[in-house]
Structure 1
């Protein structure tokens, strides 16, 4: 028990270094590309390549853990993260940056699987929920810290990469101080299709994809949008902090409201509020307030949808459903930036928020239609 209690905070410290690195890189990469006069569609595709890496990393993570164990797998992918970030400094080339961002996406997904697996294996029924809550809080705080620290990072790609490499070395050092061991699986028991085809979980899965689509655009395209408005790198980081911290603050109260009034009803209300925020941003009205509202609504869609989908399956299927939701969320994250960046290139940057409003309106229609059908069936 002593080792477990000692290892958990050390694991979170290691995660913090990884999250800070990822947060700074997710904002800085689009800014580098804007400064190098890359078109928006290329910025979107480079952003999508990171999420393709997330998808691949999620799928292969269990194999790597079984092959090398948890600590070594985590250490190797931290090294991969550092090497891929250094690779960005080799050339400002579209195809090479797609490749390096793809590798970074794999590394990040594997670290998340390792951390979440360690928590699920060592936690008990009484402590697992609290541990996951602390984990998510650490992740979000690391994201905010990364945005806040961005102004102190060097803007040159090579020196920036060296700072990231230092943070990755610290992450490896701390993970090696833990005592986690994960059980090896003899075969992969994960089957995607039964979870996707599960009728009661369908609307929660759609919510996970919607959240992935919009949040993927937040990280891939929103920094470029602000840069095109004339904001400097520090100001862009401040806007991202406002967006992300709004989502952090909203997590607990929104979760309480979801339990009290129902997840489907809350998701409809949230989507309508998000549409209102998008219309405010399109019109240029109360941009700070609209950004706060948008962050608070969009960042809470995924946990609510996840809880809703998991309620509809048996206990033995919860892990498989969680994996399915992560994959669906990642799929949305990699598709949306590529397509929306093309729309922005053709129609203008403001169509980023037009796209958000259309996506949100679609989900409102799906949920409302489902609610009406359920009421008719009960009557």
Structure 2
């Protein structure tokens, strides 16, 4: 385990949520001026890198709290930037259909992610959770790159 007690885990989650909330506007502002798809790809890579660092930094509060803030900012931005891209690409009834598809995809991830992580942990031990989710984030990144090459803004 991480060695953190329930109170520390609660603080860790709170810092993660704070990162998600505080950085929505700056990330959106940058995406509006640069590239929404580019920012989505960047936030995916930042999420992957911050998650990959977690096993090494979890025991050091000096690094854990900034990492949680960064992870909250980057992972939280994936949802928001994706919605912004939907709004940019679709209008009217098409936007409603696209949003429905997006919500279905999100909910499928919510349903499939925990069993995938749990299975990895069962087969390969607790340490397999982070690499499994890093691999899923990398697949997400590859999809974003492919969409960008197809002309997504």
Matched, 1:266 2:43: no
1:305 to 75, 79, 82: 82
Cα distance in 2 for partners of 1:319, 1:238 equals 37
Give the TM-score normalised by the residue count of structure 1: 0.36
Q: How does 1:237-316 map to 2 (within 5 A)?
A: 237-284=10-57, 286-316=63-93
Cα distance in 1 for partners of 2:96, 2:144 equals 25
Cα gap change, 1:283/1:302 in structure 2, threshold over 3 Å: closer, same or farther? same
- Give the drift of 1:318: 2.2
**Is the radius of gyration larger for structure 1 or structure 2?**
1
Partner of 2:108: 331
Cα gap change, 1:284/1:350 in structure 2, threshold over 3 Å: closer, same or farther? farther
Cα deviation digits, residues 176-224 of structure 1 (max 9, x gap): xxxxxxxxxxxxxxxxxxxxxxxxxxxxxxxxxxxxxxxxxxxxxxxxx
Which structure 2 segments of 5+ residues have no match?
A: none
Cα gap change, 1:370/1:323 in structure 2, threshold over 3 Å: closer, same or farther? closer
Cα distance in 2 for partners of 1:295, 1:329 equals 17
Give the TM-score normalised by the residue count of structure 2: 0.84
Cα distance in 1 for partners of 2:76, 2:7 equals 23
Matched, 1:229 2:2: yes
Cα deviation digits, residues 288-325 of structure 1 (max 9, x gap): 22222111100111111012123222323323332322
Count matched residues: 148
Which structure 1 segments of 5+ residues have no match?
A: 1-227, 375-379
CA contact (8 A) 2:86 2:95 kept: no
Instruction: Choose between structure 1 and 2 for higher RCO, CA contacts under 8 A separated by at least 6 residues.
Output: 2
2:134 to 354, 357, 369: 357
Cα distance in 2 for partners of 1:359, 1:234 equals 29
CA contact (8 A) 1:280 1:287 kept: no
Cα deviation digits, residues 30-84 of structure 1 (max 9, x gap): xxxxxxxxxxxxxxxxxxxxxxxxxxxxxxxxxxxxxxxxxxxxxxxxxxxxxxx
Cα deviation digits, residues 6-43 of structure 1 (max 9, x gap): xxxxxxxxxxxxxxxxxxxxxxxxxxxxxxxxxxxxxx
Partner of 1:344: 121
CA contact (8 A) 1:310 1:321 kept: no
Q: How does 1:74-85 map to 2 (within 5 A)?
A: none
- Give the drift of 1:373: 5.0
Cα distance in 1 for partners of 2:15, 2:6 equals 15
Cα deviation digits, residues 115-143 of structure 1 (max 9, x gap): xxxxxxxxxxxxxxxxxxxxxxxxxxxxx
- Give the drift of 1:365: 1.9
Aligned Cα root-mean-square deviation (Å): 2.1
Partner of 1:81: none
Cα distance in 2 for partners of 1:257, 1:345 equals 41
